[in-house]
Structure 1
Amino acid sequence: MQNVIKKGILGISLACLFSFNAIAENYTIGTGSQSGTYYPLGGMLAKIWSENIDNFDARAEVTAASVENTIKVSANKQLAGLAMGNVVLQGYQGVDPFPRKMDVSVLFALYPNVVQFIVPADSDIKSIQDLKGKRISLGAPGSGTRVSSTNILAALGINESDIDAQSLNYTATTNAIKAGQIDAGVIVGSIGVGAITELAFTHNIRILSFTPEELKTVSASNPSYQAIDVPVNSYDKVNAFVAPAVWNVLVVNKNLDTELAYKMTKIAFEHMKEINQVISVTKFTTIENMDRLKGVELHPGALKYLKENR
């Protein structure tokens, strides 16, 4: 009888263990819109980690991007998330749009994101200051695009009350430009981001350039923004332009298991050439660039890998 009871207890214990492991081993990677760079990159990372870490099953999740990902990672509702560095810094500091300090750290920096103000080629909007009084998509609520566009405009003396602000994601923004429903739209993404690439193939567009004075003002208001020169034809028939850029990072909970964080970092860099073949902007995702975002600490597991390979 005792043996039967012991076997029963063992069976229940194993069942509970397997049940717990099944939950613990399934992870989500927060990304963004399917038409942006975050989604395919998150999918690649999920695939590589799932194939190379024992008992690890991850998938990319469509989200509103940076703000949502930072909050979910802090609340342990996502294992990791892709986010713009300025947003992560604001979360780490607990300033607007975050209600409190977020429990986050950085696994590694990814690539620079460019703040791109798009207008039809024949638009009378020639400069950032010309945006006043216009219908402008500032990005989806809770997205890094929304945070960046409003912060940058505010630094240059343009508040939401000065424009007819719309809250659209990447796809809705480009569709609204095509339909003439908005005068301008902001997309914060890598050079060659899919949403703008697709729009440029079917419609004549321009991307606004910031003046040197405007760029200095933006950088002074938030040092995470740095000027970047984007050459002509980075998009089909689109002009060269100069704009603020900020590094994207892979954000995780600061209390993530150190060994798991180390494995995730190590495996990602061991397979970076494979990722490069699918997502070209990851040419910037190097060991040398891991700690590009200042003000937010690298996770101890990532720092261990960095020290081993510098």
Structure 2
Amino acid sequence: MNHMLKSGLIGLACLFSFNTLADNYTIGTGSQSGTYYPLGGILAKIWSEKIDNFDMRAEVTAASVENTIKVSSKKQLAGIAMGNVVLQAAEGTKPFPRKMDVAPLFALYPNVVQFIVRADSDIHSIQDLKGKKISLGAPGSGTRVSSTNILASLGITDDDIKAQSLNYTATTNAIAAGQIDAGAIVGSIGVGAITELAFTQDIRILSFTPEELEKVSADNASYQAIDVPAESYKGVNEFNAPAVWNILVVNKNMDEDLAYQMTKVAFENMDEINQIISVTKFTTLENMDKLDGVPLHPGAMKYLKEQM
């Protein structure tokens, strides 16, 4: 083969290979038993179908903290994370060692802090958790950050409990087996792990008192009180709990046009997303900028201003 032609073909192959890699992206989600994973999957599918030269897949991760770090370090194009975690990342406060390059693309839906116990448990209040064996969530997860922060704001530290570090599925399995006394899951109402547990076990979800909710909100500005009606899970009582918005987070230095396209395509196809992930009924233009303290990515803000 002509040397010049051969060199040209090799160069073209390398360029094609680079572009193929450059256009393959991931969105960080959470465990497969939570809401993040299927939501990330449908977003990835829609973006891949509707944006030219764009291919994305959902990646199982430890959720909020891991996703935020990977987005900041450009190991993921996007990630789903709790708003309080994104705020801590932007500010460079624990568990982050420094300020992270993050920006919200848009707010998704509120996550509710749910402390689960078996129905026959002697734990009836948040204060009753003292001295008990409790799963606070997997390391690197928003559940772990949120449950620890909330208990601390109510005067309950790791020294007061026997803390376990389990993901959603391991938490509910351990509750069912009587291996732990309580477990925290910070997720949407109707999250799969609790829904499945409620079908096989009689459980309760602890209710926060008005005074506790006020204290949590005072110490953690990202949280707001929410009333959850009875039978949101099979046989489960009405309860009151703090809630924090989930955020679709990207690197703040992401290309503005790509951020604009991703936002535009997501909202233009929100009806399809709603049919699969019902909690995205909260994913509206009015709720896009729910996270105080961290500005929307300029590409997302451009789309929002166009719609106003």
> Can you give the 5+ residue segments of structure 1 that lack an aligned partner in the other structure?
none
1:289 alignment partner, SS class: coil
Aligned-pair identity in percent equals 80
Among 180, 205, 225, the residue aligned to 1:182: 180
Among 56, 63, 67, the residue aligned to 1:65: 63
Question: Deviation at 1:8?
Answer: 4.3
Residue of structure 2 equivalent to 1:250:
248
2:99 alignment partner, SS class: coil
Matches of 2:184 and 2:286, distance apart in 1: 30
Residue of structure 1 equivalent to 2:160:
162
Question: Deviation at 1:21?
Answer: 0.5
Amino acid at match of 1:135: K
Question: Deviation at 1:5?
Answer: 5.6
Residue of structure 1 equivalent to 2:278:
280
2:197 alignment partner, SS class: helix
Question: Deviation at 1:10?
Answer: 3.5
Question: Deviation at 1:297?
Answer: 1.2
Question: Deviation at 1:273?
Answer: 0.5
2:57 alignment partner, SS class: strand
Matches of 2:212 and 2:26, distance apart in 1: 39
Matches of 1:128 and 1:84, distance apart in 2: 22
Question: Deviation at 1:6?
Answer: 5.0
1:141-152 equivalences in 2 (<5 Å): 141-152=139-150
2:75 alignment partner, SS class: coil
Residue of structure 2 equivalent to 1:48:
46
1:191 alignment partner, SS class: coil
> Can you give the 5+ residue segments of structure 2 that lack an aligned partner in the other structure?
none
Residue of structure 2 equivalent to 1:229:
227
2:240 alignment partner, SS class: strand
Question: Deviation at 1:77?
Answer: 0.3
RMSD of aligned Cα (Å): 1.1
Residue of structure 2 equivalent to 1:33:
31
Matches of 2:245 and 2:194, distance apart in 1: 19
Matches of 2:12 and 2:281, distance apart in 1: 45
1:189-228 equivalences in 2 (<5 Å): 189-228=187-226
Matches of 2:171 and 2:215, distance apart in 1: 27
Question: Deviation at 1:222?
Answer: 1.0
Q: TM-score, normalised by structure 1?
A: 0.98
4+ runs deviating over 4 angstroms: none
Amino acid at match of 2:234: D
Q: How many residue pairs get matched?
A: 308
Matches of 1:249 and 1:17, distance apart in 2: 35
Question: Deviation at 1:154?
Answer: 0.2
